[in-house]
Structure formats: structure tokens, C-alpha cells
Structure 1
Amino acid sequence: MNVLVLGAGQLARMMALASKPLNINVRAYDVGSERVVDPLSLSVDYGDLAQGILDADAITAEFEHIAHDVLAACEQSGKLFPSSQAIKTGGDRRLEKTLLAQAGVANAKHKIIANKFEFDEAIESLTLPLIMKSALAGYDGKGQWRLKDKSEAEAIWQEIKSFIEGDTSGRPQAIVVEQMVPFDREVSMVGVRSKTGQTLAYPLTENHHSKGVLSVSLAINEHQNLQAQATEAFDKIANALDYVGVLAIEFFQVGDSLLVNEIAPRVHNSGHWTQQGADTCQFENHIRAVCQLPLGSTELVRPTAMINILGTDSVPHSILEIPSVTLHWYGKGKRAGRKMGHINVCGSTRTELISRLTQLSTMLPNADFPDVNEYVSTL
């Protein structure tokens, strides 16, 4: 069986690695070169998109911002999972907000604006502070502005105006203006839905971000009330999209309640811990779903944490002396801020995990992992 992944980055790579034991071959469509390649080597050329679609038994995606003509060609084949509409929804915050309203899932108060009149109106109708996010092309903290005082409004509008005018997506750009949520922490859920409608959810993870980019994810399965809320939201969203595959939802925790921050129609950075912390990792479960194979268990088998490796291509080899530490490199060239790999660490209990995570954090260079040690010390 052959699966074509739209996108040739680290998520396609990890899907390919997880698929090998199932005797499933994964190829990746590189949106830059417009060629189908081996996601593990990137050097083997299997032809263009048309050939890739012809050779594939199933087609999926590793990111949301895919050209609509590419999605249309894949959807026409009847092999694309999840649907093009689901992928587009994850890549356009306007569609995402509409989906959340239709599914009856709580999220932050917001307005959608595209001009100065709507910008001013949003400031008057919502309570400051506000966060403003581009509807298209924003990720890892990019395409975002924060307004804390009305005196800053004109300067921020000028930045937004330039951003909108400079957009090259070929589609109308807009800004989602959200009332900032005074959250206690950020959590996320990765779940999977089969073509027949079966849904399974992994445990909620607690997420720590550094400069808008995920730094650490912690899976310990301690909050059953929140787990139930997140699972209900996952089912509502996945069913509304008639979704097939792995879907991630990021939440704000406010007291004992969850508000959806955003969704990602794909395998997700905050689910990398599943490689060592679950019987069936998110990558294998995504492939199982799109290939219409039985889904695997999403139960937490041991408390696990994931640390992102950002902008560096080396870590001390001594970290591998710590029991249950696993290193995952993506085979990328070093670039500031780039996701180069991740480290998973596990323990048989929460206490053991925190002990190993603390030891690991003290061994990592502070220059490359600036606030990991500080975050771990709060656990």
C-alpha cells in the first residue's frame, strides 16, 4: 500500500518511519519543487503530483497551507483524507471560527476584520487586551499582534495594513481579533477518527511555549474532568468535519473549563510524546485511519514529556545515559529557530518522569534551551 503525504517535512518523515512495520510505503509531495520524493532521503524522485496521485492508495497532508489547486486534484481522486475542506479549515482562522460556532464548541470572543473601520469597531466592542491573528499564513507566533492600550492602536493598524497589502497568498486576507483569555495554562489534545466515525483520544498534554513556539509538552493524564471536556470537543469538531485521521486541538484552561484556541488537521508537535508514551503513536494512527485499518490504542502507557530542539544540530551525548530518554533528529540543516528534532523522556510514575526531566534539563545548554530548566523547576 502506498500513501502520498502533501508536504515533505519532519511530519511526513515520522509518518514514513511509523508506516514501515505496517508494510506501507510513504512518499511525500514537496510543495517547493513540486516533485514527489522519499521523505526519508528527499533525493529519490518519483515524478510529479499527477504521477503521485496515480501511484497512491491514500493521500493525506502534513500541514494546512497547501495550494487549493493541489487539494482539488487530490480530492478529485477520491483518495484524500482528511477532506480538502478540513485541511482548508485548519489553514484559515475564519473557517475555523465558523466551524467552532457550528459545532457548539467554546472559544474566545472575537471579531473578523479586513479594514480600518472594522478594526476600530472591534476595539470598541471587545475588551482589551486583544490578540490579533492573520486568518491565513500565521503559525508559531508569526502574523500576530497584541493590543494592550488604545494608544497603541494606530501603530498596530499600520503594521496590519502593510501585512494585508503585502499578502501573496492569492486569497483575501483578514485578521481575527480575539479578546485575550486570562488562562491558567495551555493544553492540547491529539485524537484520531476513522472513516466509520470511531474516535479515540490521547491524554491531554500540558504545553509550555517559548517566544510563541512549543518548547515542552507533558503527558501525565492527571485531569479526568478536563480530559472529558476535551474529548467532547474533539468529537464535536471531528464529526462536524466528517474527519479521517489525526486531529489536534489546542486549548486554554481557565479554571475548570477549556476554551479552544485553534485546531490543526494533522499530526502535531504536541503529540510527539506518543512515540514513547503510547502503544500506538500519532503517526501510525494517522496512517491507520487514512488507510482504513483498525485504530490503535491511545492510552498513556507511562508518563512522558517531549522537549523541542530548536535552531541547533547538537545536544550532549550524555543525555542518552538517562534511562528512557530517546532522541529524534529530523535530518535538517541548522537555522535559527528551526525545529531540528525533539527529545522524549519517560518514567514509570510522575515522580520518576519529573526527576529524569529535571536531570535532562540541567544537561541541555541554556543558550539553546533558554527556559526549559525554569519551566521544569515549576513541575
Structure 2
Amino acid sequence: MNKVLVLGAGQLARMMDLAGTPLNLNTKAFDVRIDEVVHPLVNEYKFGDLQSGIEQADVITSEFEHISHDVLEQCEASGKLLPTSTAIKIGGDRRLEKSLLESCNVANAKHKVIANHEDFTNAIEQLQLPIIFKSALEGYDGKGQWRLKDISQAESIWTDMEEFVAGAKTSVPQGIIAEQMVPFDREVSIVGARNSKGEIAVYPITENHHTNGVLSVSLAMPVPTKLQEQAFEVFSKLAEKLDYVGVLAIEFFQVGDTLLVNEIAPRVHNSGHWTQQGCDTCQFENHLRAICGLPLGNTELIRPTAMINILGQDSVPEAVLAMPGVAIHWYNKEKRNGRKMGHINVCGNNEQELADKLSQLAEILDPLAFEDIKEFATMLQARVN
């Protein structure tokens, strides 16, 4: 039995544990908030400190990228950490991420690194409005971002960013990346796995929709071969550059037939949750297979699938459970406004059936809690008809 230690004790560690149990894997999680190793499903069960967890583990991995460098170095020193601390740090720092993309000659939005007011002024002069400014560290779900659409907003935004950076409590100095806003057609992502032998298996491109900066729906349906090949090429370049082991997610802006990398995540990813019902082997199982030296599982789409995030709600109507081809995954969290509490996976035997089921769900779910689902369902109906 392989013993796996996950850095982080949230829902991704939980779903890794659920996926690993049938493979006879023993998974524990290091809760960075309390500096203790816990059970991924029942956090009240505790197993000592980080060093104890490292000693007992066969392999160490991570469910998120914003981890103290001291913790990463301690795990790296054991020789058990996969992916490497370098890959995890790159996923957590947009400055390192942009450097990686440039070194691999991977297309991404035009950008500038902001360290002071002079950099800020130069970025505005060299990039065209609108510009989006993103925190280099700990920015997610729309947080740590500022949009400059009119030059009259510039100094106000600079003041906000300066205060944000000054108040940062990160172990590495905070910073800002300025990006040319891309007039994209849609946002997509690819999730894939690479093992220590260099073997790669990627899932189909997923179309992502956001509500108030937070992912609300991910849609997996057959995609054009050339687009999938382009995403695979980018995945391979980055994974091989990093000598990556595990699951890696890459978010793109699609502009016509071209994909521009938005950001990367060195872990299992929200936009890959649909794989639990849409594939033979889900992303959580494939991550564990990769880091434990097991063969990678099949990543082909077996049926069109959509994932709907449940945000700030701890229940949904029972009628949802009565629908065939629908599965709910709860995260066992306390209810909080905007918090990711769980997700719903919806499957259809074909694209039309999936669109029909999403339309049915839109009528059942609370329109205030799932405000964009009806609009999304209507859009998908128009596309498949």
C-alpha cells in the first residue's frame, strides 16, 4: 500500500482520497492552517506534525500552489515531493509563470512585471487599454485583480495596488503583473497527467464560464482536432520543461483558432471535476497514478459532461438527485457566501441530451444561487440545435 501525503486539507485532497482508496492507496493531508497531518475526509482525526507525516509517506504531493517555501523545502529534502517544489512555486507566482511561458516560447498575453510606480507608468504606455493588473501571489477566483479601462482610473488603481502589496503577508515579496486584456472568443482549459517515465495522457479541452470572476460551469464535449493538438503541444512543452509528475492544468484564452495561455495550475483543477463522471479515469485518480508510479488511466471523453459549481449553498432541491445522469459531490464545508461547497456533474449520451438536462436543471436550481445557469443552458441549446 502506497502512503500519500497531500499538502493542503481541502476538497481536492478529499477527492484524491476518495479516488485513491480503490487503488489501495492510503492518503493523509497536511493542514497548513494548523500545522498538523489529518484525515482528508474527517479532519478531526490527527496524525502528528509535518515531519512525522513526511517520514510515514511514500510520496508527497500538493492540492494547491500557495504553500510556504519552508514547507516545500522540507518536503523536497525528503526526495518524495511530486511534482517538484519548482513547479509548485511557478504555479503560485505569476512572475515565475510568465518566465516559464517565455522560455518555452508559448503564446500568452502581452505583459509587464510591475515593481514600482515607474514600471506601472511604463506598462500603461507600452500596453493598450484595457489592461488587467494581477497580483503575482495568491490571486484566485477573481481576487487580487484590477481592470484599467480609462486612463483617469490609473492613479486610483495604483493606490489600491500599492496598499495591497504593502499589506501582503506572503513569505515571498508580493508583486503585480500587467496584462494586455485579450478579446477572446471563449476560455478553455486542458488537464493532463505526466508520469516519471515521461508518458502523457490529456483530457479533452474544457470550455469554462465564470460568474463574478469565479468558475461556474465547465463543459466537456467533442472539440476540433487541431485545437486539441495545439493544447496538447503546449501541455507537453511545459510538462517536459518542468520534468513534471502528476496532473497539470493549463487555462487558455481562445482567439479564433489560436490558444493563448492565461495561467497554469500544478495540481488537480476545478475545471477537471467533470472527469469524475465523463471519463473512465478521473483527474484525481490519474494524479495519484502518476505520482505513485502506476500506469496512467484512459482520459478519453466517454460522454458529454458539464460541471456546475455549487457556491455558498449547502443544499440543492432533491429533484436534482432524481435526474438520471446527474451526480452531486459535496465537500463537507461550513456554509459561507461565495464559498465552493460542492459541484454537480451532468452527463448526456450526446450533446443534445446534455443541453436538455442542463435546461431541466436550470428550472430546478435556485436562480439566485445559480444565476447564470439558465443563460448558459439557453446558449448551449442554441449551439447544438
Task: Tell me the distance in 1 between the aligned counterparts of 2:255 and 2:352.
Answer: 26
Alignment of 1:83-94 (within 5 A): 83-94=84-95
Q: Where does structure 1 differ by over 2 angstroms across 4 or more consecutive aligned residues?
A: none
The alignment covers a number of residue pairs equal to: 379
**2:187: which partner in 1?**
186
* Gap regions ≥5 residues in structure 1: none
Find out whether 1:172 has 2:173 as its counterpart: yes
Task: Tell me the distance in 1 between the aligned counterparts of 2:249 and 2:343.
Answer: 18
Equivalent residue letter for 1:155: S
Task: Tell me the distance in 2 between the aligned counterparts of 1:83 and 1:197.
Answer: 15
Query: 8 Å contact 2:191–2:272 — kept in the other structure?
Result: yes
| Structure 2 residue matching 1:232: 3-state secondary structure | helix
| Structure 2 residue matching 1:132: 3-state secondary structure | strand
Find out whether 1:253 has 2:254 as its counterpart: yes
Task: Tell me the distance in 2 between the aligned counterparts of 1:223 and 1:100.
Answer: 24
Find out whether 1:106 has 2:123 as its counterpart: no
Alignment of 1:144-183 (within 5 A): 144-183=145-184
Equivalent residue letter for 1:152: Q
Task: Tell me the distance in 1 between the aligned counterparts of 2:363 and 2:261.
Answer: 33
Q: Which moved more, 1:64-73 or 1:169-178?
A: 169-178
Q: CA deviation digits over 1:284-308, x for unaligned, max 9?
A: 0000000011000100011100000
Q: CA deviation digits over 1:357-377, x for unaligned, max 9?
A: 111121100111011111121
Alignment of 1:172-321 (within 5 A): 172-321=173-322
Task: Tell me the distance in 1 between the aligned counterparts of 2:332 and 2:362.
Answer: 23
Task: Tell me the distance in 2 between the aligned counterparts of 1:247 and 1:361.
Answer: 31
| Structure 2 residue matching 1:47: 3-state secondary structure | coil
Alignment of 1:35-184 (within 5 A): 35-184=36-185
Shift of residue 225, structure 1, vs aligned partner? 1.5
Equivalent residue letter for 2:355: I
Equivalent residue letter for 1:295: L
Shift of residue 223, structure 1, vs aligned partner? 2.0
Task: Tell me the distance in 2 between the aligned counterparts of 1:159 and 1:293.
Answer: 48
TM-score (norm 1): 0.99
| Structure 1 residue matching 2:163: 3-state secondary structure | helix
Equivalent residue letter for 1:30: D
Task: Tell me the distance in 2 between the aligned counterparts of 1:19 and 1:87.
Answer: 22
Task: Tell me the distance in 2 between the aligned counterparts of 1:171 and 1:40.
Answer: 31
Task: Tell me the distance in 2 between the aligned counterparts of 1:41 and 1:223.
Answer: 42
Equivalent residue letter for 1:326: A
Equivalent residue letter for 1:115: N
Shift of residue 221, structure 1, vs aligned partner? 1.8
Task: Tell me the distance in 2 between the aligned counterparts of 1:353 and 1:296.
Answer: 25
Find out whether 1:367 has 2:365 as its counterpart: no
Equivalent residue letter for 1:231: F
| Structure 1 residue matching 2:341: 3-state secondary structure | strand
Shift of residue 170, structure 1, vs aligned partner? 3.0
Q: CA deviation digits over 1:66-109, x for unaligned, max 9?
A: 00010001001110000000000000000000000111110000
Q: CA deviation digits over 1:246-291, x for unaligned, max 9?
A: 0000000001110000000000000000000000000000000000
Shift of residue 159, structure 1, vs aligned partner? 0.3
**1:351: which partner in 2?**
352
| Structure 2 residue matching 1:191: 3-state secondary structure | strand
Shift of residue 173, structure 1, vs aligned partner? 1.4
Equivalent residue letter for 2:336: R
| Structure 2 residue matching 1:262: 3-state secondary structure | strand
TM-score (norm 2): 0.98
Identity of aligned residues (%): 65
Task: Tell me the distance in 2 between the aligned counterparts of 1:41 and 1:351.
Answer: 40
Task: Tell me the distance in 2 between the aligned counterparts of 1:45 and 1:171.
Answer: 29
**1:337: which partner in 2?**
338
Equivalent residue letter for 2:193: V
Query: 8 Å contact 2:68–2:171 — kept in the other structure?
Result: no
| Structure 1 residue matching 2:112: 3-state secondary structure | strand
| Structure 1 residue matching 2:47: 3-state secondary structure | strand
Task: Tell me the distance in 1 between the aligned counterparts of 2:153 and 2:354.
Answer: 44
| Structure 1 residue matching 2:328: 3-state secondary structure | strand
* Gap regions ≥5 residues in structure 2: 381-385
Task: Tell me the distance in 1 between the aligned counterparts of 2:171 and 2:244.
Answer: 27
| Structure 1 residue matching 2:379: 3-state secondary structure | coil
Query: 8 Å contact 2:5–2:60 — kept in the other structure?
Result: yes
Task: Tell me the distance in 2 between the aligned counterparts of 1:247 and 1:174.
Answer: 24
| Structure 2 residue matching 1:169: 3-state secondary structure | coil
Task: Tell me the distance in 1 between the aligned counterparts of 2:223 and 2:263.
Answer: 23
